[in-house]
Amino acid sequence: MSRARVTGRVECAEHPAGCPAWITVISARGKRLAKAAVNQGSYTVEGLPAGTHTLVISASQHTPRAELISVEDTLDDTSGVVQHDIRLSH
């Protein structure tokens, strides 16, 4: 079984170069699958199984935000990559 990677940017009006934040990925069953810091506006979360997951974005000056992402199983041993950019507002 191959694993996928989610990568993207987190931006907000206060930090045009990239918003400092944390990304947490939660499975459909409520299990935390991964957590990653946003570095200079970019993040990457690796090793995700296929399925629909909740991506939670936490930033100190913003209300936490949750978005659904869908990660598909790949047919070979290479990891699939999902690009998911986030724009935060107050």
| Domains identified in the chain and CATH numbers | 4-84 (2.60.40.10)
d(CA 73, CA 2): 7
Above 60 in pLDDT, residue 75?
Answer: no
d(CA 49, CA 76): 14
Quote the pLDDT of residue 17. Answer: 81
Residue type (1 letter), 18: G
pLDDT, tens only, 16-57: 888 889 999 999 999 999 999 999 999 999 989 989 999 999
d(CA 90, CA 80): 32
Q: Give SS3 for 21.
A: coil
Q: What is the pTM of this model?
A: 0.84
Average pLDDT over residues 55-73: 90
User: Could you tell me which of 38, 27, 29 has the C-alpha nearest to residue 71?
Assistant: 27
Tell me whether strands 81-83 and 65-71 are parallel, antiparallel or unpaired: unpaired
Residue type (1 letter), 60: S
Residue type (1 letter), 42: S
